[in-house]
Amino acid sequence: MKRICNLVLCLVALSGRAQNANTWNHKQCAVVLTYDDAINGDLDNVLPALDSLGLKGTFYLIGSSPVVSDRMKEWKEAAFHGHELGNHSLYHPCDGSMPGRSFVQADHDLSKYTVSRAVSETRINNVLLNAIDGRTKRTFAYPCGDLKIGDSFFYAGLRKDFVAARGVRPAMDPIEKVNLDNVDCYSMNGQTAEQMIALVKEAIRTRTLLVFLFHGVGGGHSINVGLREHSALLHFIKDHEQEIWNAPMVEVAEYIQARQEGRAEGNTQPVRGRSLLALSKTDHMLAMVDPATLKVMARIPVGIDPHEVIASSDGKTAYVSIYGGGSLHELNVIDLVAQKPLVNIDTRPLWGPHGLTFADGKVWFTAEGTKSVGRYDPATGKLDWSMGTGQDRTHMIYVTADGKKIYTTNVSSGTVSILTDTLIQPGRSAPPGAKPREDWGQTIIPVARGSEGFDVSPDGRQLWTVASEDGMIFIIDLEAKKLATKIDAKALGANRLKFTPDGRRVFISSLGTGDLTIYDAHTQKEIRRLKIGHGAAGILMDPEGARAFVACSADNYIAVIDLKTLEITGRIEVGGVPDGLAWAVRP
């Protein structure tokens, strides 16, 4: 009995240790790099160093600083690459009544402020920052670390404006003890690389949050660390990325908030039951991504010029179209369980397979080179049906769950095809015992040349498509099989279009501009236009209704969009020129 009790205690201890080890987004610690006061060195020295290693930082900007107004385009570019532009107030007011504060100007002496003035100026700075980066979520940093005006904690009036506020007290905290109203940090001034790296090692050992506060890096500020020292720190963080989670403060703070409220890791089992599949066109790879951690779990080789991917309903098999602009003729079959290629299906005489879907137990695909739609039966290993559309560039496809209706966009003809399966009963002259025969009919609806991306509303009543050449949205009444309305969306270069799972919004990606245009499906009005890259393609909605994934082909990443805030919350790197995306349940 004693041995059993000891074993149980050991297992409990190991379980607790394992949970503790996974606290920080499945890493051992979190390290946040923050840079204060908006100085030239941030843009000239820090950002190139961070970007070269794929690390992210938070830059707390003083709105009145000429470095903000004079170099606004560069700050915008920094935000575009995933760095946070935090709020460090409009004028950087500090409490001039404290010892050693002779540098404080009378006009910006926090001790002479009212709380309403402090709150108002901070909110004005938020408006400025939003004009630069288009984001509504960010964090705040107390100028000089001063929390109060007299006896009043002025941040209390700003809690709803920020995810968190960073202070200046040097400490490392476990996730349950982080105070999001006053996040601890270590201010750097003259430290060596060894001293800074020692802090990181301690954070790894203690499984805690470590926040660095930098001012000058390589000069430009009286509080400074050397370029080489800073570079050595960054390289250490990069070299230990399996143990260290590096992210902007706003992302880490949201994660902490979720964990403290019991909304994170422990409640993500539904997400972990699926894999995100993503194709890299230039690497010729299919990536399997864990949507909970946004990490690539496996990469599987596929053929040249892969465009679209779909998984079987049981999640065991994926199918990849090998397109070649209409000149190739293969579907790759991938074993998702063993994570390896299986066979290649020769689709000839159907050339140029592109659009893919899985419905009624079969794989359906467009064959652009032969102006057709085809169907492959995995049970027999054969192509068992096809039908011509007679339209140029039959490209994308949607099939109803019962396999009785097919919708395609025909890009160069500027049309949408509706293919409907019906049964024709035997006529009077038919021989005895004759059975009904299948007959497919086609309705062609003119839209506009360049109409490629489309989706069917969750209620099955409407089909929305968008034309890349003129940026118009066309809405088709599927019951009436006719065009209901069109909208001048100015979505030039449009590539894909998707409804959110609840049917309330429509997302449109542009390969030409990198914009993600978001429409209200009911009012048919634009509600947001988000710059997510230099060229956006495939869109995948999270069935849980929380996120959208958009392949930014020109930028070699997949952007993760929060469906509530309509902001970018993460990026996934799956290889060069990502495009086709799909979900696969995990068997």
- Where residue 104 sits, what CATH number does that domain have? 3.20.20.370
Angle at 122 between CA 180 and CA 147, to 5 degrees: 50
Q: Which residue has the tokens 């949970």?
A: 19
What pLDDT shows up at residue 17?
A: 42
How far from 377 is each of 42, 334, 386, CA to CA, in Å? 58, 15, 12
What H or E segment, with its residue span, contains residue 15? helix 2-21
Cα separation of 401 and 384, whole Å?
18
Residue 225 domain boundaries: 22-260
Cα separation of 363 and 378, whole Å?
8
What pLDDT shows up at residue 465?
A: 98
Is residue 135 situated within a structural domain?
Answer: yes
Is residue 418 situated within a structural domain?
Answer: no
Is residue 167 situated within a structural domain?
Answer: yes
Angle at 303 between CA 273 and CA 336, to 5 degrees: 20
Cα separation of 83 and 16, whole Å?
33
Question: Hey, what amino acid is at 291?
Answer: P
Q: Which are the contacts of 272, defined by CB distance < 8 A and separation ≥ 6?
A: 290, 291, 292, 586
pLDDT beneath 70, residues of the chain = 1-22, 263-272
Helices vs. strands in the chain: H and E counts, helices first: 10, 40
Cα separation of 477 and 451, whole Å?
16
Q: What is the DSSP string of 252-270?
A: HHHHHHHHHTT-SGGG-HH
Domain count, the chain: 1
Is residue 86 situated within a structural domain?
Answer: yes
In terms of Cα–Cα distance, which of 74, 62, 30, 88 is closest to 212? 30
What pLDDT shows up at residue 548?
A: 96
295, β-bridge pairs: 290
Q: State pLDDT tens for residues 86-121.
A: 999 999 999 999 998 999 999 999 999 999 999 999
What pLDDT shows up at residue 271?
A: 38
What pLDDT shows up at residue 392?
A: 97
What would the 3-class secondary structure string for 91-156 be? Answer: CCCECCCCCCCCCCCHHHEHHHCCHHHHHHHHHHHHHHHHHHHCCCCCCEECHHHCCEECCEEHHH
Sheet holding 515-520, edge to edge: 494-499, 505-510, 515-520, 525-531
- As a whole number of Å, the end-to-end CA separation of the chain is 39
What pLDDT shows up at residue 297?
A: 87
Cα separation of 580 and 103, whole Å?
56
Is residue 437 situated within a structural domain?
Answer: no
Are residues 466 and 414 in contact, defined by beta-carbon separation less than 8 angstroms?
no
Is residue 70 situated within a structural domain?
Answer: yes
The model carries a pTM of 0.58
Are residues 113 and 94 in contact, defined by beta-carbon separation less than 8 angstroms?
no
What pLDDT shows up at residue 22?
A: 53
Backbone angles phi, psi at 348, to 5 degrees: -60, 140
Is residue 391 situated within a structural domain?
Answer: no
Cα separation of 365 and 387, whole Å?
11
What pLDDT shows up at residue 272?
A: 41
Is residue 130 situated within a structural domain?
Answer: yes
